[in-house]
Structure 1
Amino acid sequence: MITAAPDGVYRAARDLDMLSIHSPLFDAVMWARGVPDRVRRRPVATPPSMRVSDLFETAAAGDRADVEAQPWVALGERAGREIVFGAVGKVWKPTIEWRRVEPGDYADFEEPGWAKMAAAFVVHPYGARRSLLTYEARTACTDPVSTTRFGRYWTLVSPGVGIVLRGALRAVEAAAETGEGSTRGDES
């Protein structure tokens, strides 16, 4: 339960920058994800931001360079209520191999060897000044071998993913309850 109106919670969820979340556990999880690249002496790629709204705004602006560099795509939005985004990747590899799939092709993508991930933030009104925010994620693999690989991977990483998602929900809650309506710290 978040003590903020649904519109403010929605704006905070949409403006969430995953790179703005900091806690010792969250930072440890993010550091661990880069270990395979560090061991191979490769640079650990960190984008300047990972804002949920960028997925929707970049797609709308049509900037091909930014669009193609981002594996996550905007899958749908019900303004003020729900945002859905997804990606296709081989997340079980030490360095994730992403496959850019355009939003219109996402649902029908079936090429063997991949995991299709979709996630959503949904805001539920709970009175006039309170809201329930849910985060839901689903993964569907495109063949039995990928399903097995993903299952082994998920067994290993699910505790870390839980830390990341709880951090994201707390960041949205803090932004919404302080009236910022944005997790970037500025007014949009």
Structure 2
Amino acid sequence: MESRTQPLKLRTLAEGLPGASFRERHDRVIDASPARVWDALLALRWGDLRLTAPLLVVRGLADPRTGRRSMLREGPVVAVQVEPEARWVGVRIGQPWRPVPTLAPDPAGLEELRAFDEPGWLKFGMEFLLQPLADGRTVLTTTTLCEATDQAAHRKFARYWRLIEPFSGLIRIDMLAAVARRCRGT
């Protein structure tokens, strides 16, 4: 008798991008429960960023007139894995090194992202992970992973990454700080 097993559903960004050669991770302990941090994360708006909003405007990722737009719902990635109060994963496929970035159709999930192998593209994503601490606080972690589909795309993105990596990290740190401020109500 033939065995028919269902493929395991991928949950984490690392499972969707196992060959990622560009990565960054930032953590922040927030004095709030995972439920409160989750609500603050989902409520995060472009206008909440204090340090890096001008960088996003210059890159065309944000418009100062639309600071009320949701970062997670109207941001540079599309949600594909949402586990309330635990994990949020957003992904995209594109060519961000171009003056006007080109995007491929949005993958339906981490499995589709992982399977995409058309040359000339970058598969990328951002994950937020919430981990409760025993004292009622929460560790909020953001991870960014990027995986090129071929060597030519890898070389193009590597040049681009050298320019933007410090700013990318600063944006992530600013996002974590904005979530912490929302939790404090400031």
Q: TM-score when scaled to structure 1?
A: 0.73
Q: Please tell me whether residue 145 in structure 1 is matched to residue 152 in structure 2.
A: yes
| SS of corresponding position for 2:52 | helix
- Counterpart of 1:61? none
One-letter amino acid of the counterpart of residue 90, structure 1:
Q
Query: 1:20 maps to which residue?
Result: 47
CA 1:120–1:176 in structure 2 vs 1: closer, same or farther (change >3 Å)?
A: same
Alignment of 1:55-66 (within 5 A): none
> Cα–Cα, structure 1 residues 106 and 174, in superposed 2: closer, same or farther, change >3 Å?
same
Q: Deviations over 1:129-158 (max 9, x none)?
A: 211100001001100000011111000011
Residue 73 of structure 1 corresponds to which residue in structure 2?
A: 78
Task: Tell me by how many angstroms 1:95 deviates.
Answer: 1.3
Q: Aligned to 2:166, what secondary structure does the other structure show?
A: helix
Which letter maps to 1:160? F
The answer to whether the Cα contact below 8 Å between 1:84 and 1:118 also exists between their aligned partners in 2 is: yes
Alpha-carbon shift at residue 161 of structure 1 (Å) = 0.9
Are residues 1:7 and 2:35 paired?
yes
- Report the alpha carbon displacement of residue 121 of structure 1 after superposing the two structures with TM: 0.6
2:175 maps to 1:175: no
Describe the shift of the 1:166–1:71 C-alpha distance in structure 2 as closer, same or farther (beyond 3 A).
closer
Aligned counterpart, 1:33: 59
Percent of aligned positions with the same letter in both sequences?
A: 27
3-state SS, counterpart of residue 107 of structure 1:
helix
Contact 1:5/1:128, CA 8 A, preserved across alignment = no
The one-letter code of the counterpart of 1:26 is T
> How many pairs does the alignment contain?
153
How high is the TM-score relative to the length of structure 2?
A: 0.73
Query: Which structure features the higher share of strand residues?
Result: 2
Bigger helix share: 1
CA RMSD of aligned residues (A): 2.3
Name stretches of at least 5 consecutive residues in structure 2 with no aligned partner: 1-28
